Amino acid sequence: MLRYPGWLLGYLWWLLKGCYAVARVFLVDARVLLGVAVKIPTVSFSASEQNTTALKEFDQLLRRVFPKIFSSSLVQHEMVGNYSHLLTVPGSEPDLEPYMLLAHIDVVPADEADGWDAPPFSAQELNGFIYGRGTIDNKQSVMGILQALEYLLEQGYTPRRSFYIGLGHDEEISGPQGAVNIVKLLKSRGVKLLYVLDEGLTIMDGVVDGLIGPGALIGVSEKGQATVKLSVSTPPGHSSMPPRESSIGILASAVTRLEKNRMPNLFGHGPERATFEHLAHKFGWPYRMVMSNLWLFSSLVLEGQPDTNAFVRTTTAVTMFNSGVKINVMPAYAEAFVNFRIHSSQTLQEVLKLIKSTISDERVKVEFVSGFDPLPISSYDEDTFGYQIIKKTVHDIFPEVTVSPGICVGNTDSRHYTELSPDIYRFAPSWYKPGDSARFHGVNERISIQNYEEIVLFYFQLMQNSDIRNLPGPRT
Ligand SMILES: [Zn+2]
Tell me, what's the pLDDT at 268? 75
Tell me, what's the pLDDT at 15? 60
Asked if residue 66 lies in contact with residue 146, where contact means CB atoms within 8 angstroms, the answer is yes
Name the residue among 166, 165, 51 with its Cα closest to residue 107. 51
Distance 240 CA to ligand 1 centre (A): 50
Tell me, what's the pLDDT at 27? 62
In this structure, of 22-36, 278-292, 352-366, the range with the lowest mean pLDDT score is: 278-292
Q: Encode pLDDT of 55-67 as tens digits.
A: 999 999 999 999 9
Distance 273 CA to ligand 1 centre (A): 25
Name the residue among 263, 266, 315 with its Cα closest to residue 294. 266
Q: How far apart are CA 22 and CA 309, in angstroms?
A: 46
Distance 233 CA to ligand 1 centre (A): 38
Q: Which of 59, 106, 413, 454 is catalytic?
A: 106
Q: Who has greater pLDDT, 176 or 293?
A: 176
Residue 183, beta-bridge partner list = none
Name the residue among 264, 330, 321, 325 with its Cα closest to residue 298. 264
304: Cβ–Cβ under 8 A, 6 or more apart, which residues? Answer: none
Residue 236 has pLDDT above 70, yes or no: yes
Tell me, what's the pLDDT at 215? 92
Asked if residue 187 lies in contact with residue 401, where contact means CB atoms within 8 angstroms, the answer is no
Residue 475 has pLDDT above 60, yes or no: no
> Which is it for strands 402-408 and 215-222: parallel, antiparallel or unpaired?
parallel
Tell me, what's the pLDDT at 370? 95
Q: How confident is the model at residue 1 (pLDDT cuts 50, 70, 90)?
A: very low
Q: What is the mean pLDDT of residues 420-442?
A: 94
Q: How far apart are CA 105 and CA 168, in angstroms?
A: 6
Q: Who has greater pLDDT, 409 or 267?
A: 409
Q: How far apart are CA 335 and CA 72, in angstroms?
A: 55
Q: Encode pLDDT of 271-319 as tens digits.
A: 777 787 777 777 766 566 555 665 555 555 556 666 678 878 999 999 9
Tell me, what's the pLDDT at 285? 62
Region at 140 (left for phi over 0; alpha for psi -120 to 50; beta for the rest):
alpha
371: Cβ–Cβ under 8 A, 6 or more apart, which residues? Answer: 224, 225, 226, 227, 340, 342, 348, 351
Domains of the chain (ranges plus CATH)?
A: 6-220+376-465 (3.40.630.10), 224-264+314-374 (3.30.70.360), 268-312 (no CATH)
- Is 307 tagged catalytic? no
Distance 429 CA to ligand 1 centre (A): 13
Complete DSSP assignment for 109-160: ---GGGT-SS-TTS--EETTEEESTTTTTTHHHHHHHHHHHHHHHHTT---S
Q: What is the mean pLDDT of residues 79-95?
A: 97
Q: Which of 59, 137, 170, 171 is catalytic?
A: 171
Q: Please, what's the largest Cα pairwise distance for the chain?
A: 105
Tell me, what's the pLDDT at 476? 46
Q: What is the mean pLDDT of residues 337-355?
A: 96
Residue 132 has pLDDT above 90, yes or no: yes
Q: How far apart are CA 374 and CA 136, in angstroms?
A: 24
Name the residue among 53, 55, 45, 171 with its Cα closest to residue 111. 45
Distance 136 CA to ligand 1 centre (A): 8
124 to 39, 138, 445, 446: CA distances (angstroms): 9, 17, 11, 10
- Is 106 tagged catalytic? yes
Q: Who has greater pLDDT, 16 or 451?
A: 451
Q: What is the mean pLDDT of residues 217-231?
A: 96
Q: What is the mean pLDDT of residues 240-255?
A: 95
Residue 22 has pLDDT above 80, yes or no: no
Q: Encode pLDDT of 387-405 as tens digits.
A: 999 999 999 999 999 999 9
In this structure, of 5-14, 342-351, 365-374, the range with the lowest mean pLDDT score is: 5-14
Q: How far apart are CA 153 and CA 139, in angstroms?
A: 21
Tell me, what's the pLDDT at 75? 98
Looking at the whole model, is its pTM more than 0.75? yes
Distance 229 CA to ligand 1 centre (A): 26
What is the overall mean pLDDT for the chain? 90
Tell me, what's the pLDDT at 203? 95
Q: How far apart are CA 383 and CA 394, in angstroms?
A: 17
Q: How far apart are CA 274 and CA 256, in angstroms?
A: 33
Name the residue among 410, 423, 338 with its Cα closest to residue 374. 410
